[in-house]
């Protein structure tokens, strides 16, 4: 899959001296205009209840080991009071657990269909070079990974919602169905170093192989041939 447009601005990695916007949903979202971000969103049926329960149990043990009781009101406030490094470790660790389980192929995996993947691909690339700059993405059977530079402050959550709302409407119409297509919450992290940028791009590129997919079951997009920051 190829696409020739490119971003009008140059994106880079996290700048510790520049402003950071943090928004809270079920997960914290850290974003910085002009920086690359790694974003994952998944289909609503991608993880069964038993898998979600296992993830939650692992998360709860981590919290309890740090003196935070997740059964009590206000536990998220106590999590937010931890040092930044601990909060980042929490987000990365439990997002990684979810990623591994996603690759097991739970749910109907409707994005195995090329026509449905095409809807997602077109949505991701529609404003590439305008509102954001995409470096890489992969559309898997039940989830999507995107490596993207964001141009404006406060655009991360809104852009994810826009991608999901548009694609869900189109896909549901094509399938003749109603209801939730995507999980409400997305997972994301700001890219903090050139090394992290390379690791993330490699992760995206290798995701189909790790999941044992055939070429016709996924779509991989890599804008640049090399691995260094463009």
Q: What is the pLDDT of residues 163-210, one digit of tens each?
A: 999 999 999 999 999 999 998 888 888 898 999 999 999 999 999 998
Spatial contact of 208 and 219, defined as CB atoms under 8 Å apart: no
Q: How far apart are CA 196 and CA 13, in angstroms?
A: 9
pLDDT the model gives residue 46: 78
pLDDT at residue 5 is higher than 80: no
* pLDDT of 22 over the 70 cut: no
| CB-based contact 98:55 (threshold 8 Å) | yes
Q: Quick one: average pLDDT of 53-57?
A: 76
How does pLDDT run across 108-160, given as a tens digit for each residue? 899 999 999 999 999 999 999 999 999 999 999 999 999 999 988 878 889 99
Contact (Cβ atoms closer than 8 angstroms) between residue 137 and residue 147: yes
Mean pLDDT of 18-40: 76
Choice between 161 and 78, residue whose per-residue pLDDT is larger: 161
- pLDDT > 80? residue 45: yes
- Residue 98: what pLDDT? 65
How many whole angstroms from its chain centre is CA 169?
20
Comparing 9-13, 22-26, 186-190, 220-224, the range with the smallest average pLDDT is 22-26
Q: Give the chain's length.
A: 230
User: Strand (E) positions, 32-183?
Assistant: 36-42, 132-139, 143-150
Residue 8 has a pLDDT of: 59
Q: What is the pLDDT of residues 66-119, one digit of tens each?
A: 999 988 877 767 877 888 888 778 877 776 666 666 666 667 899 999 999 999
Checking if the pLDDT of 58 tops 90, the result is no
DSSP character at residue 227: S
| C-alpha closest to that of 129 among 20, 209, 43, 9 | 9
Alpha helices in the chain (DSSP H): 49-65, 75-80, 84-102, 114-126, 156-175, 194-210
Give Dmax (Cα) for the chain. 51
From the list 123, 150, 113, the residue with the least C-alpha distance to 18 is: 150
């Amino acid at each position: 899959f190829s696409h020739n447009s490119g971003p009008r601005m140059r994106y880079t990695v996290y700048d510790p001296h520049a402003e950071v916007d943090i928004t809270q949903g079920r997960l914290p979202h850290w974003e910085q205009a002009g920086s690359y971000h790694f974003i994952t969103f998944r289909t609503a049926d991608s993880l069964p209840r038993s898998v979600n329960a296992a993830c939650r149990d692992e998360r709860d043990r981590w919290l309890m080991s740090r003196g935070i009781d997740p059964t009590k009101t206000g536990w998220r406030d106590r999590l937010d009071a931890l040092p930044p490094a601990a909060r980042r470790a929490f987000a990365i660790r439990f997002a990684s657990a979810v990623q591994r389980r996603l690759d097991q192929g739970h749910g109907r995996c409707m994005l195995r269909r090329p026509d449905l993947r095409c809807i997602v691909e077109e949505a991701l690339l529609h404003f590439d070079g305008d509102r954001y700059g995409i470096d890489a993405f992969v559309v898997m059977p039940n989830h999507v990974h995107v490596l993207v530079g964001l141009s404006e402050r406060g655009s991360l959550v809104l852009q994810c919602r826009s991608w999901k709302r548009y694609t869900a409407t189109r896909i549901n119409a094509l399938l003749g169905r109603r209801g939730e297509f995507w999980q409400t919450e997305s997972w994301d992290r700001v890219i903090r170093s050139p090394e992290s940028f390379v690791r993330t791009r490699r992760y995206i590129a290798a995701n189909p192989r790790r999941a044992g997919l055939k070429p016709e079951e996924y779509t991989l997009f890599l804008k640049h041939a090399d691995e260094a920051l463009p």
